[in-house]
Structure 1
Amino acid sequence: MLILIAGITGFVGIPCARAALTRGHKVRGLARNVNRLPEDISDRLESFETLSNNHDIAEMDRAVDGIDAIICAFAGLPELFMESQLLLLRAAERAGVKVFHASSWNYDWRRSPGVHEIYDDIRAFAHHVEISSTIKPIYMFTGAIAEYYFKKSPADWDSKTKTFSFHGPSTQPTRYTTTNDIANYVLEAITTPNASNGGYILVQSFEASPEDIIKEYNAARDGRVTAKLNYLGTLGDAKAKLDQGRAIYEKRDWSKYLWYCYQYHIPSGSWDYEPKDVSRFPNVRQTSLYEFFRQNPDV
């Protein structure tokens, strides 16, 4: 199978490329800068197509030519979710590609509409495609992406002080999926016989409360490093900060307050789901929280 990975240089795109290559598939990349790819991927690509901008239709048309399946791993920005991804899907239509995995590794954004600015964009994309396209994308709900929380969000995890910050009960679990598990689930999903039927897939790697995080982190470090919790307040406090941010900032400044949206709505269960599709993919071995910390000594 020849697979196009759009956004291949991102932190989900790279594991997807490795998972595809490990399974013997051919991989074509689409992104802005090939130099951001590790050599173990760039040296094995069938080809790499360079986007000049987010709306480079000509390059998207070249990228989808002869492709069997598309994984869209564009970054989680509204202009990429709504605009670039839709342009890529239209290119896929013109090329006759039927299997399209959309960028969608979140909690279940079908629930509680109107409470999350970016989730509303993803939901709008899914609705628009459903009423206007012959392609039926695959959407995957994974909860929180573990690498994002512990490597890319200092508001959640301070890697210097080994501190996890949170609102609400310290025993309330969050669903997490690692990027490697995401990649393996994605490859399983796009290679099933009915992949062109699309649909929603609900998975996870593990569930963990703030207290679980500290316990497993300390165990994974064999007592050499001790992590700690930083309690920021109640769920009501998180909601108040979210409301305050929305009152102060315009919607285009969503990044200045949206962290409190996760702090309030994830523990509240607003977008929760049951990972019922884990059993559909027995070839994917779920990573545990302890294993995640052992595999990532830089966290």
Structure 2
Amino acid sequence: MLILVAGITGFVGIPVAEAALERGHQVRGLARNPDRLPKGLLGRLESFEILSGTHDIAAMERAVAGVDAVVSTISATSELIMETQVLLLKAAERAGVKIFHASSWNLDWTRSPGTHEVYDSLAHFAHHASMTSSIKPIYMFTGAIAEWVFVRSAKDWDRENKTLSYHGDSTFKSRYTTANDIANYVLEAITAPDAAEGGYLRVQSFEASPEDVVEAYNAARGGSTKATHKCLGSLEDAKAKLDEGRAKYTKTEWWNYAWYIYQYYIPLRAWDYEPVDVARFPNVKQTTLEEFFRQNPDV
């Protein structure tokens, strides 16, 4: 299978490409800068198309030509979801592609509309695709991406002091999926016999509370480093910060208050789901939280 990974230089795109190559597939990349790929990956690709901007239709046309499946791993911003991804979907449709995995790796953004600015964009893309395209995209709910929380988000995890910050109950369990597990679930989904039928998939790697995070981290480090958790206040405190941010910033500046969206709505289970499709893909070995910490010694 020849698979186009759009947004291949991102922290989901790279694992998807690696997983596809490990399974013997050919991979074509589409992104702005091939220099952002890990050393050695570019030379293993069938080809790489450079995207000059969010509306570079010509590059998308070249990228989708002759591929068997498209995996869109573009960043979850409203512009990329509602403009770039729509253009990519239409280019894939014109090229006769039947399998299209949309950028979707979050909690269940079909639930509780109006609670999350970009979740609404993800849902609007799905609605638009269902109304206008012959392609039936695949969407995957994964909970939080573990690498985002523990590597990218300094507000969640202080890597220097090994501290997880949160609001609410220290025993509340959130859903997580690692980027590598996402990649393997994606490959299972796009190579399944019914892949062209699209639909919504619900998976995870593990569930963990702040207390679980501390316990797993300390176990993974064998006592050499100790983690802690820090409660920053109640859910009402998180909601007050969210309301303050929404009043102060425009929607184009939503990143300034985005953290409080998750801090408030995840414990309310506004977007929760049951990972019923884990059983559908038994070939994917779920990474445990302790394994994740062992695999990422710099976290």
Displacement after TM superposition at 1:188 (Å): 0.2
Secondary structure of the structure 2 residue equivalent to 1:135? coil
Q: Does 1:203 align with 2:203?
A: yes
Q: Does 1:272 align with 2:279?
A: no
Shift of 1:128: 0.6
Identity of aligned residues (%): 67
Deviates more, 1:240-249 or 1:153-162: 240-249
Work out whether 1:21 is the aligned partner of 2:37. Answer: no
Q: Supply the distance in 2 between the matched residues of 1:116 and 1:37 (Cα, whole angstroms).
A: 31
1:171 matched to 2:171: yes
Deviations 1:39-78 (A, max 9, x none): 3321110000000111100000000000000000001211
What is residue 259 of structure 1 aligned with on the other side?
259
Structure 2: runs of 5+ lacking an equivalent: none
Separation in structure 2 between the aligned mates of residue 210 and residue 241 of structure 1, nearest angstrom: 21
- Secondary structure of 1:82's counterpart equals helix
Q: Deviations over 1:6-60 (max 9, x none)?
A: 0000000000000000000000000001111113321110000000111100000
Structure-1 separation of matches of 2:25 and 2:178? 22
Q: Give matches, 1:1-299, under 5 Å.
A: 1-299=1-299
TM-score, scaled to structure 2: 0.99
Q: Distance in 1 between matches of 2:39 and 2:253?
A: 36
User: Any idea what SS the aligned residue of 1:97 has?
Assistant: coil
Query: How much is the aligned-residue C-alpha RMSD, in angstroms?
Result: 0.6
**What is the one-letter code of the residue matched to 2:108?**
D
5+ residue gaps, structure 1: none
C-alpha separation in 2, matches of 1:77 and 1:114: 16
Pairwise CA distance, 1:126: 0.5
Tell me, in whole angstroms, the C-alpha distance in 1 between the residues paired with 2:277 and 2:40.
31
40-49 or 160-169: bigger deviation? 40-49
Structure 1 consecutive aligned stretches of length 4 or more whose deviation exceeds 6 Å:
none
Q: Distance in 1 between matches of 2:136 and 2:68?
A: 14
**What is the CA distance between 1:270 and its match in structure 2?**
0.3
CA distance in 1, matches of 2:279, 2:40: 31
1:159-197, Cα deviation, whole Å (9 max, x unpaired): 011110000000000000000000000000000111000
**Aligned pairs, number:** 299
